[in-house]
Amino acid sequence: MTRNLPTSGSLRNHLVLTLIGGAAILALLLFFAIRNYATQVAQQGQDNILGASVTSILDAASIRDGTIEVDIPYASFSMLSTQSDDRIFYAIYQDETFLSGYPKLSLATVSGQESIFQSVKHRGKTVRLVTASRTLIGIEKRTQIRVALAQTQDALSGTLAQISRNAALFGTGFFALAALLSIWASSTTVGQLKRLTNSVTRRGPQDLSPFEKPVPSEMLPLVTSLNSLMQRLDHSLGQSEDFIAEAAHRVRTPLATVRSYAEATLQRVDKEENRQALRSMVRAIDESSRAAGQLLDHAMITFRADHLEHQNLDLVALVNELVVRLMPIAEMKDLELRFHSDAQITYSGDPVLIQNAVRNLIDNALKYSPSEGTVNILVTAAPNVHVRVCDSGNGFPSEELNTLATRFKRGKNAEGTIGSGLGLTIAMDVARAHGGNLQLSNGTEGGACALLSL
Amino acid sequence: MRIAIALVLWVLPQVIFAQEWEDRQLFNDHASEQKLRIISSTDTSFFTPIIKSFISKYPNVAVEYLVTGTADIDRIFRATPDAFDVVISSAMDLQLKIVNDGLARPVSNVPLPSWAQWRQSLFAFTSEPAAIVINREAFAGHPIPDTRQKLIEALRARPEIFRGRIGTYDVRKSGLGYLFATQDARASETYWRLMEVMGALDIRLYCCSGDMINDLSDGTIAVAYNVLGSYATARVESKGAIEIILPSNFPTTMMRTAMVSIDAPHFEDASAFIRHLIALQSGSEKAAFPLPPLNSKLNDVERSTIALEPALMTFLDTLKRRRFLAEWEDAVIQKQQK
């Protein structure tokens, strides 16, 4: 029944991959943005301290007796202390003349108040270099003092490494969260589809009613088409049932006429072979009209099962009435009908359907029981509400126990007995419509048992 | 002829070297496998037990211990960093500048707090305050000055006793003396007043703590200013004659530091020596480590230890040093000539 359809990939995987991919790109962007920003901030921090330090050195420059003095404040270098014990280099120039510090330190040409920050190589190490100048006015001439101050970047790179680690952690966390969210989001989205699939799958074979539960707007077209498909299906099914019912009805009436004529003719015919032929005719007509009757019943049951009317009834009284009505037929066949039941069982169901089902079961039992046999009918509510009909016949053919209740299926031992093969089907349909089931079994000492649980 | 030249070539450097050192000792000489060369400003007597315990742990290492002044260490080592493995000096500023200039090789796994090391290259292993050491006789019957201010008062009160009998480092020659002087001057103006008073009393200038304590012990001088207390304490024979005073307002405390040369011929042994030294320092055995160990209570205001930070380089600046020495000479020496 289920055929493996070719798939064009998984919607869910597609969704998850798209979302996770997006999250990964975002996480990477976040990481680089944070690191870039942190680098700027950290570099700005170092530059600020270097700038303050170089300014304090320049402030300490003065001309005394014609010579330049630069009384470097202790704090100028002290403020450059870092966690990683960064090395510092400095050089002081008067105009182009080296005065003090590290002569190999290259410094930028500066003028005015501007401080120039550079990252340069000094002694094979990248250092941050600040160059600033100050013009001193002496007695004879103006002179420019230039101070270059450089610091290694060990602490800075340590800080950056830590920030990078944190940013990476942050990015990973963001990514993990986004991945979880995307999996969750895709699951919920696909879950809607799954729910619809489930509700389609769970439906009974007769259930062709439209889906009423709210669905997401994107799925509305699908559900609408599905509903319209089912409506058309329901309609055509109904039509065919109607057709069968109509056909059966139309056949039954003429059959009755034909039967009455055949009976009448039988009275008047004396020739034994003619009488035999007529008797066969009557039998065939009986069989046909019974089949037509059951087809009608079946159509009625199908209709009523779809629109089940629940009404409170006393199951015991209902079955008892049926038994009383069938008593004459049983007596005609020399059969004994035994009825056992609880005092009263209130049940909510469709009385017409239940009566029909039970009648079919008892009919069957009467048909297949040999003369002088007994048919036991039990109605009880323990452990669940059920009606059991057992005869003393040959029982069902054991290999057919599971298939007997299908339409037009008759047991192998049914030959010679009038029947359409719809009786058990009707009982089964009624049981299912009431949420119950029909179980067939053979008694240990022979005889067939049908258990209609409701 | 050849032999003569060879002999000269062999003897000559030895003679030159021999003249340069205050002291030079070989330990474990027969284990000639490797010879660890340590250049140090600390007297051999302090380091003998340290080196001996090191040798007992590393028997195939010979140690040559060379002693000279702090300024000389700086000059000699900067000229030939590949000739020495370990540099030990009490002049923290010179040591720090050597590391800053990239002449020291980092040693990993040295268990010291961050304040006691710099760049994993410079390792502090002692904590020694600069003390005022006096000859008890000169202060008999007078209150013993326990601050710089009181010392000034004492000197002014009896100039006749102290004239020509006060000693301190010649900061122009001694690296440690310069360090103490600059840190003193940084801490308080009292330093300059004290120097002026001492200068007026014909102060004697010394290159080293040892000489100063010798003169103090035999009574040649009555007061020595900014002497290493540890050296004075070590002089058992003069214990009765001298008294060590730690100025109660701000005793400048120095940390002796050690480092491994960037071009150390025996880096592994040198690193082992540093670790051994630090391990001895933190041990409590007085006999194994005769120097005062690092003061764990660094935050103690009473004993402000000079911090191992780049600011130590401030006073090494040519202009700054020139200016400081000029002021110092103004205070100490010119007054002598007047």
The answer, for B186 touching chain A at a CB cutoff of 8 Å, is: yes
Closest listed residue to residue A394, CA positions, set A427, A423, A416, A409? A416
DSSP-derived letter for residue B305 is: B
Residues A316 and A301 in one domain: no
Residues A143 and A43 in one domain: yes
Q: Domain extents for chain B?
A: 2-127+255-305, 128-253+317-337
User: Architecture of B128-253+317-337 per CATH?
Assistant: 3-Layer(aba) Sandwich (3.40)
Pick A85's closest partner by Cβ from B102, B118, B314. B118
Distance from CA of A83 to the nearest CA of B (A): 8
Residue A341 domain flag: yes
Tell me the two tokens of residue A293. Answer: 């009757």
The answer, for B137 touching chain A at a CB cutoff of 8 Å, is: no
The answer, for A132 touching chain B at a CB cutoff of 8 Å, is: no
Could you give the CA distance from residue B38 to residue B334 in angstroms, rounded to a whole number?
39
Pick A92's closest partner by Cβ from B114, B314, B319. B319
Could you give the CA distance from residue B220 to residue B135 in angstroms, rounded to a whole number?
9
Residue type, B139: F
The answer, for B326 touching chain A at a CB cutoff of 8 Å, is: no
| Residues in contact with A27: Cβ distance below 8 Å, sequence separation at least 6, in sequence order | A171, A172, A174, A175, A178
Residues A286 and A275 in one domain: yes
- To test the contact with chain B by mutation, choose from A81, A85, A94 the residue with the greatest count of B C-beta atoms within 10 A, namely A85
Contacts of B309 in chain A (CB under 8 A): 77-78, 81
Tell me the two tokens of residue B136. Answer: 């008890």
The answer, for B75 touching chain A at a CB cutoff of 8 Å, is: no
**pLDDT at residue A420 tops 70:** no
Pick A78's closest partner by Cβ from B119, B309, B315. B309
**pLDDT at residue A1 tops 50:** no
Residue % of chain A over a pLDDT of 90: 21
Residues A127 and A236 in one domain: no
Spatial contact of B96 and B308, defined as CB atoms under 8 Å apart: yes
Residue A10 domain flag: no
CATH topology of domain B2-127+255-305: D-Maltodextrin-Binding Protein; domain 2 (3.40.190)
A7-66 pLDDT, tens per residue?
888 888 888 888 899 989 999 998 999 889 988 999 999 999 999 999 999 999 998 888
Closest listed residue to residue A244, CA positions, set A303, A169, A167, A203? A303
Contacts of B307 in chain A (CB under 8 A): 81
Please, which residues 75-114 of chain A have a Cβ atom closer than 8 Å to chain B?
A: 75-78, 80-81, 83-89, 92, 99-101
Cα dihedral A171/A177/A179/A183 (nearest 10): -170
Inter-chain touch B310–A88, beta carbons under 8 Å: yes
- Which run of H or of E encompasses A121? strand A116-122
The answer, for B142 touching chain A at a CB cutoff of 8 Å, is: no
Could you give the CA distance from residue B147 to residue B166 in angstroms, rounded to a whole number?
16
Tell me the two tokens of residue A46. Answer: 């170092």
Of A126, A161, A196, the position where a domain reaches its end is: A161
Residue A259 domain flag: yes
Q: CB atoms < 10 A from the CB of A152, how many?
A: 23
Residues A275 and A237 in one domain: yes
In chain B, whose CA is at the least distance from the CA of A76? B311
Of A274, A307, A340, the position where a domain reaches its end is: A307
Residue A174 domain flag: no
Q: How many helices (H) and strands (E) does chain A have?
A: 8, 14
Mean predicted lDDT score pLDDT of chain A:
84
Spatial contact of B34 and B62, defined as CB atoms under 8 Å apart: yes
Residue A183 domain flag: no
Of A257, A279, A307, the position where a domain reaches its end is: A307
Residue by residue, pLDDT tens for chain B (338 residues) are: 555 555 555 555 554 454 478 899 999 888 767 799 999 999 898 999 999 999 999 998 999 999 999 999 999 999 999 999 999 999 999 999 999 999 999 999 999 988 899 999 999 999 888 889 998 888 888 999 989 999 999 999 999 999 999 999 999 999 999 999 999 999 888 999 999 999 999 999 998 888 888 898 888 999 999 988 888 887 766 667 888 888 877 788 899 999 999 999 999 999 999 999 999 988 877 778 888 888 665 445 445 789 999 999 999 999 999 999 999 999 998 654 54
The answer, for B32 touching chain A at a CB cutoff of 8 Å, is: no
* Whole-Å CA distances, B253 to A451, B235, B250, B289, B306: 107, 20, 9, 19, 6
- To test the contact with chain A by mutation, choose from B120, B313, B315 the residue with the greatest count of A C-beta atoms within 10 A, namely B313
Phi, then psi, of B153 in degrees rounded to 5: -60, -45
The answer, for A72 touching chain B at a CB cutoff of 8 Å, is: yes
Q: How far apart are the first and last CA of chain A?
A: 29
Could you give the CA distance from residue A232 to residue B89 in angstroms, rounded to a whole number?
104
Distance from CA of A179 to the nearest CA of B (A): 43
Provide the CATH number for the domain around residue A320: 3.30.565.10
**pLDDT at residue A2 tops 60:** no
- Which run of H or of E encompasses A368? helix A351-368
Inter-chain touch A88–B323, beta carbons under 8 Å: no
3-state SS class at A404: coil
Residue % of chain A over a pLDDT of 70: 94
Residue A19 domain flag: yes
Could you give the CA distance from residue B22 to residue B35 in angstroms, rounded to a whole number?
20
Common-topology check for domains B2-127+255-305 and B128-253+317-337: yes
Inter-chain touch B319–A87, beta carbons under 8 Å: no
* Burial grade of A84 (CB within 10 A; 0-12, 13-18, 19 or more): middle
Q: Is the interface score ipTM higher than 0.85?
A: yes
Spatial contact of A252 and A292, defined as CB atoms under 8 Å apart: yes
Inter-chain touch A123–B311, beta carbons under 8 Å: no
Distance from CA of A49 to the nearest CA of B (A): 14
Contacts of A73 in chain B (CB under 8 A): 314
Could you give the CA distance from residue B52 to residue B48 in angstroms, rounded to a whole number?
6
pLDDT of residue B18: 47
Inter-chain touch B310–A73, beta carbons under 8 Å: no
Could you give the CA distance from residue B36 to residue B174 in angstroms, rounded to a whole number?
26
Spatial contact of B99 and B82, defined as CB atoms under 8 Å apart: no
Pick A70's closest partner by Cβ from B119, B309, B319. B319
- Domain housing A243: 204-307
A114-171 pLDDT, tens per residue?
889 999 998 888 999 999 999 998 877 888 899 999 999 999 999 889 889 998 998 8
Question: Looking at the 3D structure of chain A, how many domains does it have?
Answer: 3
Higher pLDDT, B320 or A403: B320
- Vertex A448, ends A442 and A452: CA angle to 5°? 95
Give the count of Cβ contacts less than 8 A between chain A and B. 62
Distance from CA of A39 to the nearest CA of B (A): 23
In chain A, whose CA is at the least distance from the CA of B101? A87
Residue A123 domain flag: yes
Mean pLDDT score, A309-327: 84
**What is the b/e burial string over B67-93, where b = at least 16 CB atoms within 10 angstroms of the residue's CB?**
bbbbbbbbebbeeebebbbbbbbbbbb
| Residues in contact with A20: Cβ distance below 8 Å, sequence separation at least 6, in sequence order | A178, A179, A182
DSSP B197-258: HHHHTT-EEES-HHHHHHHHHTTS-SEEEEEEHHHHHH-GGGTTTEEEE--SS---EE--EE
Inter-chain touch B314–A74, beta carbons under 8 Å: yes
Could you give the CA distance from residue A31 to residue A25 in angstroms, rounded to a whole number?
10
Residues A298 and A338 in one domain: no
Inter-chain touch A74–B311, beta carbons under 8 Å: yes
B122-135 pLDDT, tens per residue?
999 998 888 899 98
Residues A383 and A268 in one domain: no
Could you give the CA distance from residue A339 to residue A317 in angstroms, rounded to a whole number?
11
